[in-house]
Structure 1
Amino acid sequence: MSKLFLVPTPIGNLKDMTFRAVDVLNDVDLILAEDTRTSGKLLKHFEIKTPMQSHHMHNEHKMVDHVIQKLKSGQSIALISDAGTPAISDPGFLLTRACVENQIEVDCLPGATAFVPALVNSGLPNDKFVFEGFLPVKKGRQTRLKLLSEETRTMIFYESPHKLIKTLSNFCEYFGEDRPVSVSRELTKLYEETIRGTATEVLAHYTNKPPKGEIVIIVGGRK
């Protein structure tokens, strides 16, 4: 039966893989993976022998029609990213949209995604929040920050270690030095940590202790 499965994979701890995710990856005809080397280790760990093909941000535009044809021919396909849930700051949206347009069934499994534990353990309000993902690197960055300075809901950002200082400095400038911030790093992994405080305090911490690993930043909304 033709169907696209969006399958979350662990963001660090392999024990966060669900039984259902393993079953689906074993049962489908093909797995589309963001990085076949990274996903190859995951599949080997769970003894999954399903064929795998590369599907990432640089080739997904070209790949969509090809994948749709495979699905229309009756194949079942799973999409996985390097970590977490596909389409959340990772490839997946374009293919999902194409499936919807072509009336091909899509099934997104529940599972690991980095921003949920970071939000919940931040101690900041999580009844209403906005997911921003990665800020623009250059063009549109100031405009986005000015707009978000008026946001009253809790905000969620993804950031790379070498840009964290710049981003925290931007938050001090645009949101105010006293704005509450929580930075979660290496979630579910051995050196997991969450640093909470004002924007100034968290900036000072990471200025003295340069960060490593995957980072989620939670910022309190404007009061």
Structure 2
Amino acid sequence: MRNGVIHACVKSFLVWLIAVGAVAAVGFEFFQRGSTEMGLIMLGLIFAGYCVATRTVARRGKDATTLLMVGAGGTFGFWFPPLYELFAQIVVTWAETGVLPADLAGRFALPVALGVSGLMMAAVLYAGTSSGGVFMLTVLVSGVAAGTPIFQHLLGPYEPWGMFGAMVLWHAAVAGMLASWAVRQAKEHRAASCPHCGKDLGQIAIAICPSCKKRLPGAGVLHTIAEAQESRRAA
């Protein structure tokens, strides 16, 4: 069992390391060239990739919530720009009606879009993990990312590298939390599996594994399948 958990830890760490490295590389290229659309698409695909990888480590890679997470991440580059444009129009309307000062209108569209999209991704991750910790951390780092443009405008001239740092932080935190969740899930799965062949025994109260036929540890007080059948015949 210990070896299985160690393997899960190593795999999860590698997933996290590759994810952060990929996000940093794509983000750097994205800010260097200013290719917004392609950068967002690539970041969404990276998100989908480490979601699938961590769920595979957790032995939960083939279910509907995996498709939900992949769909949300894989299409991020397509649904985030319209979301941003929507909030940009709303902010402009507020500025025209005097609800929001005109000099601040241009600064609020991106933070609001980032905050809303972060909440959406937090909900998707909660649906896929049922983990309040994953949800709360995603909300927290989404708030940091959303507040970054505002803080930059308040502190001085806007520099896109602040958003680069916030983007890397968001993915590093989310990927790290998913990796930790995957290790916990793998540990629970190993605890409910046959130590010899890995078959999921669930609530089966038997002394031998029905798959590999080897005796389970700590099952001395239970009857094996053969012994139980023999007892029934004798009765």
- Tell me whether the two structures share a fold, i.e. TM-score over 0.5: no
Q: TM-score range by the shorter chain?
A: under 0.3
Specify the structure having the higher radius of gyration (Cα): 2
User: Which structure carries more helix by proportion?
Assistant: 2
Q: What TM-score comes out, normalization by structure 2 length?
A: 0.22
| TM-score normalized by the length of structure 1 | 0.23
Greater strand share, structure number: 1
